[in-house]
Amino acid sequence: METHISCLFPEILAIIFSYLDVKDKGRVAQVCTAWRDASYHKSVWRGVEAKLHLRRANPSLFPSLQSRGIKKVQILSLRRSLSYVIQGMPRIENLNLCGCFNLTDNGLGHAFVQDLPSLRVLNLSLCKQIGDASLGRIARHLKGLEVLELGGCSNISNAGLLLVAWGLQRLKSLNLRSCRHVSDVGIGHLAGVTHGTAKGCLALEKLTLQDCQKLSDLSLKHVAKGLGGLQVLNLSFCGGISDAGMVHLARMSRLGSLNLRSCDNISDAGVMHLAAGSPRLWGLDLSFCDKIGDQSLAHVAQGLDRLRSLSLCSCRVSDDGVDRMVRQMHRLTTLNIGQCVRITDKGLELIAEHLTQLTGIDLYGCTKITKRGLERITRLPCLKVLNLGLWQMTDGDRVR
């Protein structure tokens, strides 16, 4: 005997509806009363992020979101007061305001007027009018915050980081990309080395300092001293750090991923320091560091053989460097050597012979490789991603 879907228990319907995308979840609610009731079960909407354009008053909006158990909200455009959101969802856990250019310190201040213990993730990236006053409000009322995204908030200064270090003791991830006023002093606040002012964000596990041009090796000394639990550190485009700073980072036993892309003052000597003391690194990005050469690959093989991801795009490495490295790097799954113009088919053959766990390799701009080398690479048993970019084979079997 066949059973029609309308005869299913609401709990079964809710399980089915949970596999639908967000638009279809809303559509099934319009079919009939039974489906509407089933589709509003909180299990259907678990983990869903509501994406909202806040243009005019909608009294039913937030009660509807709360009845479905939605606690993640992304504001795509903000033409109403932020306090409208906070008052409507007092138990919100994740608030994404990325790109809300019209959000100001005054507007955020009016919204955060009381404690919000449930809020764990706040994204203010590219909110360019946000400054230190907002960080004061956040530090005072969002003490349970674990993730704070401030990328592109160019008005943030060291004073704001002092407030963060004072109030956000549970912070695990902080993004300060392109915060141009942040200097060694601010990093000292975060690391708790400024005695008598703030304890610091000592629970940090991920710190992004990309394109913070005022940082020097002193910042890395602060990080190594106070942020011993750090696992991911992004220093890309920080031109003020040098090989001397790598001595400090080498002491960080929990550091797993380090991004040094386009750090012009990092050379083979810096990699030597890392290899001497950071054997737990699983990811290292040295792309566009033009002082990195074959000697770095020898250091990697000697001391960083736990690496699973290595990026060397546009570095001065050759087949000789590959030969020094590959025999020790059996855990490597991702290798990016795009624009390494000294790599030839010999290097690819060495990679294919020894790096048998590779799942992805970037060869974009490697102009000296030919069809012969590529055929060897494509035989790797685990390979899923091969990036050649726009380079095409010619009749002469050479990539140009």
360-371 residue pLDDT tens = 999 999 999 999
What is the pLDDT at residue 394? 42
For 105, the token pair is 């310190």
What is the pLDDT at residue 32? 76
Residue with the bigger pLDDT between 313 and 78: it is 313
Half-sphere exposure for 390 (CA within 13 Å, toward CB): 0
Q: Can you name the CATH fold of 1-46?
A: Monooxygenase (1.20.1280)
Asked whether the predicted pLDDT for residue 396 surpasses 60, the reply is: no
Asked whether the predicted pLDDT for residue 180 surpasses 90, the reply is: yes
What DSSP character marks residue 44? G
- pTM confidence score: 0.89
With helix as H, strand as E and coil as C, how does 302-360 read? Answer: HHCCCCCEEECCCCECEHHHHHHHHHHCCCCCEEECCCCCECCHHHHHHHHHHCCCCCE
- Percent of the chain whose pLDDT exceeds 70: 86
Q: Write the DSSP string, 123-161.
A: E-TT-TT--HHHHHHHHHH-TT--EEE-TT-TT--HHHH
What is the pLDDT at residue 400? 45
What average pLDDT does the segment 377-400 reach? Answer: 72
* Residues 6+ away with beta carbon under 8 Å from 165: 189, 190, 192, 194, 197, 198, 199, 200, 201
Alpha carbon of residue 243 to chain centroid: 24
What average pLDDT does the segment 149-176 reach? Answer: 97
Residue 1 banded pLDDT, cuts 50, 70, 90:
very low
Domain borders along the chain are 1-46, 49-241, 267-400
What is the pLDDT at residue 89? 87
The bridge status of strand 147-149 relative to strand 72-78 is unpaired
Asked whether the predicted pLDDT for residue 397 surpasses 60, the reply is: no
What average pLDDT does the segment 214-232 reach? Answer: 97
Burial 352-363 (b: 16+ CB within 10 A, else e): bebbebbeebbb
Q: Can you state the percent helix, strand and coil of the chain, rounding each to 5?
A: 35, 15, 50
pLDDT in tens, 52-68: 887 777 777 788 777 67
Beta bridge pairs of residue 6 = none
Asked whether the predicted pLDDT for residue 251 surpasses 90, the reply is: yes
What is the pLDDT at residue 312? 98
Q: Can you name the CATH fold of 49-241?
A: 3.80.10
Same fold, 1-46 and 49-241: no
* Residues 6+ away with beta carbon under 8 Å from 43: 14, 15, 18
Asked whether the predicted pLDDT for residue 246 surpasses 50, the reply is: yes
Q: Write the DSSP string, 181-241.
A: T-BHHHHHHHHT-STTT----TT--EEE-TT-TB--HHHHHHHHHH-TT--EEE-TT-TT-
The Cα 183–Cα 161 span in angstroms is: 10
DSSP SS3 for 53: strand
The CATH architecture of the domain made up of 267-400 is Alpha-Beta Horseshoe (3.80)
The bridge status of strand 283-285 relative to strand 257-259 is parallel
